[in-house]
Amino acid sequence: MSDEGERTPGPEAAPEAEAGAEAGAEAGADLGGERRTVSDPAALKALAHPLRLKILRRLAVSGPATSTTLAAALGENTGTLSYHLRRLERGGFIEDVPERPNSRERWWRAVRGLDVRRPAQDEMTDGERAVAGALDRMRLDEDIELARRFTEEQAESDGWMRGSRSLSHLTKEEVTAFHDAYLDLLTRFARGPEDAPPDAKPVLLRWFALPAE
């Protein structure tokens, strides 16, 4: 997927990036600030629900909100939103907005600086692996839709849609180093809606790597 084609200067060039998955900004959460790792399976379970992923995406795109404004935006009732907000708070993914302590309603924002990493497969129980699989399937459905949009809309995006495909020969340690460098790059460019300039847009980023054979 590239507006410039596959570039091959020696080993093929920079792979397309992904924010999300086990490591990185979960569901679009802002990476700004000090990075904090979340790897508790119970916390990851809080993510394995489509409405909670929508809540996190909404907070990341539009900024702080109350359960009432989120309910209206997502077409849900306030009671349902409040329950899922509490689950996300217990998981460490959202927090109160301290600048609004006297509001009649609680204002929520996505926690910044999260590095969400799932435990190794052999360290998870069968139930935890099932939760991780369910979360992966939800992400896959969204990513397939994003790939479709990229293919159909990239030519008319006026430069907003960019991508690259590539291949290299790496050791496992180098794959990890590449991934960590990608997270550092995300941190460098991380910015929430409150800090964005007027001409900025919320941009979805994706990255993954897998052996060719």
Report whether 91 contacts 47 (CB < 8 A): yes
144-164: per-residue pLDDT in tens? 999 999 999 999 999 999 988
Is the per-residue pLDDT at 183 higher than 90? no
Name the pTM for this structure. Answer: 0.66
Nearest-angstrom CA–CA distance, 99 and 86: 20
Q: Could you tell me what percentage of the chain is helix, strand and coil, using 3-state DSSP and rounding each to the nearest 5? A: 45, 10, 45
Would you state the pLDDT for residue 39?
66
| 97 pLDDT above the threshold of 70 | yes
Tokens at 139, concatenated = 């992400």
Q: What's the pLDDT at 186?
A: 87
Q: What mean pLDDT do residues 14-41 have?
A: 43
Helices and strands (DSSP H and E) totals, the chain? 6, 6
What secondary structure letter does DSSP report for 170? -
Nearest partner of 26 among 112, 116, 95, judged by Cα = 116
Identify which has the larger pLDDT, 156 or 121. Answer: 156
Q: What is the model's pLDDT at position 5?
A: 36
Least confident of 7-21, 42-56, 64-78, 134-148: 7-21
- Three-class SS state of 94: strand
